Amino acid sequence: MTMPSDQLETYLLMGLFLLVFGIYSMVRHRTFIGMLISSEFILNGASLNFMAFNRFLAPDPAVGQVFTLIIMGLGAAEAALIVSLILMVFHKYRSIDPDEVRDLKG
């Protein structure tokens, strides 16, 4: 009997849930930090997909792990940059609400 943890589809469904939840949460949140948290969910959904394909389908098991490590590194770089941008926006506008940052809006 094949257990759910031995099936590719369960992991892909979890990856899909993380992506969809990230998109939903990014639209719902109205602070920059909430949107950053949502983007982390999306990145983790991508990581889980890479690892699932790596475990069940890929010819070389190292490839998916390398991709996941790169995604983690990119996520860390993105978080550092966005937090510094949020700090700058907060110092300038005294708010982290995306609706209030609209100087370039036509």
What part of residues 27-66 is at the interface with other proteins (CB under 8 A)? 27-31, 33-34, 36-37, 40-41, 44, 47-48, 51-52, 54-63, 65-66
**Inter-CA distances, 40 with 5, 30, 46, Å:** 24, 16, 10
CB of 11 or CB of 106, closer to other proteins: 11
Question: What does the alpha-carbon distance between residue 93 and residue 35 come to, in Å, rounded to a whole number?
Answer: 18
Question: What does the alpha-carbon distance between residue 38 and residue 34 come to, in Å, rounded to a whole number?
Answer: 6
Among 87, 101, 102, 105, binds other proteins (CB under 8 A): 87
Check binding of 69 to other proteins (CB under 8 A): yes
